[in-house]
Amino acid sequence: MKHGATEPMDDTILFQPIQVGELQLPNRIVMAPLTRNRASAGNVPTTMNATYYAQRADAGLLIAEATQICPEGQGYIATPGIHSAEQVAGWKLVTDAVHARGGRIVLQLWHVGRISHTSLQPGGKAPVAPSAIRANAKTFVAEGFVDVSEPRALTLAEIPGLIESYRQAAANARAAGFDGVEIHAANGYLLDQFLRDSTNQREDAYGGSISNRSRLLVEVSQAVADEVGAGRTGVRLSPLTSFGDIADSRPQALFNHVVERLADLNLAYLHIIEGETGGDRQPQPFDYAAMRKPFRGAWILNNGYDRSMAIEAIRQGKADLIAFGRPFIANPDLTRRLREDAELNEGDPDTFYGGGEHGYTDYPVMG
């Protein structure tokens, strides 16, 4: 769809089909990736996770929760991985269940970088980051919430192996039956840490200039697109979030450059979190339209959207699709509720992170 293209002025626009890269989607509603901390031992998905995603399969696209690409990529307890044979088999339960319901699902590839704790790292070692700068942030471990550990800086010699971990994780995702992947480069995690000058103080080819700080994300995106196809690859960005104690002195210039470089790869979509992560839509000076200009793929917007806001954003050509996060937790039938403009269930924050089926697969559906 051309930017700013005129569309019918009615409420059905959110429910019209769209081609996103290789994927034909029946509507413009995306389920955002939602960390729920319900993986089993070995960070393996289970039949409970399969039920959860299958319940929500009528969304145009499901983006499965952030999933670590390697053991060092883990930052929270009971989050799934995609680096072992057992994890691939567990995720196959999920994709089979979603496809049986006619759904489409991609996996978000995750490395948390410095937002981790030694208790979650192989051998109790320090987490890795672009630079050895500790975040003023907390993470969730067996004992509860704790301050993140001080990281060590990745060496230049380790970068090719890191890129290979993303490529292999993408291959594993396809082997597990996913329709594609989303590279998590947002919310203060590893790839975002490389992008920002507050967290990246390297003096080699991956630090300093905006071009150098963008290099790792571009190289990861190229490797993943080469592995699974550009038309099955998306990237998530959050230009203004401070989540994970992150900042940049020139976000507009940085993210304009990032999108320009990613546009050359002909990716399926970019998934943009507007403003502060978590639904905070306080106005901040940033020109999202300027950032989007070079990108020809689908443009997904996310952060605190409701039905009317979503319809208006697509009508105005500001977005091609809208991602909904927390509303999907409490409303497995959110797509139907949005279509019928029905009342939404309220979520229970006490069950958002960790636990069993309660607050996960037991929310009521309409009718």
How far is 339 from 206, CA to CA, in rounded Å? 46
* In the chain, where the domains are located: 11-351
Query: Considering only CA atoms, which of 70, 295, 106, 292 is closest in space to residue 182?
Result: 106
Task: Enumerate residues 6+ apart whose C-beta is below 8 A from 70.
Answer: 81, 83, 111, 165, 169
DSSP state of 54: H
Q: What is the CATH class of 11-351? A: alpha beta
Number of Cα atoms under 13 Å in the Cβ half of residue 290: 11
Structure tokens at 167: 């490529």
Alpha carbon 357 to its chain's center: 23
Q: Can you give the pTM of this predicted structure?
A: 0.96
User: Active-site residues: which are they?
Assistant: 189
pLDDT at 279: 66
pLDDT at 6: 44
pLDDT at 285: 87
pLDDT at 282: 75
Structure tokens at 206: 């991956």
Structure tokens at 355: 């636990």
How far is 136 from 246, CA to CA, in rounded Å? 9
Query: Would you give per-residue pLDDT tens digits along the chain (367 residues)?
Result: 444 444 444 689 999 999 999 999 999 999 999 999 999 999 999 999 999 999 999 999 999 999 999 999 999 999 999 999 999 999 999 999 999 999 999 999 999 999 999 999 999 999 999 999 999 999 999 888 999 999 999 999 999 999 999 999 999 999 999 999 999 999 999 999 999 999 999 999 999 999 999 999 999 999 999 999 999 999 999 999 999 999 999 999 999 999 999 999 999 999 999 988 776 677 778 999 999 999 999 999 999 999 999 999 999 999 999 999 999 999 999 999 999 999 999 999 999 999 999 999 999 999 8
How far is 122 from 238, CA to CA, in rounded Å? 29
Q: What are the DSSP calls for 280-302, one per residue?
A: B----S--HHHHHTT--SEEEEE
* Length of the chain measured in residues: 367
Bridge partners (DSSP) listed for residue 153: 129
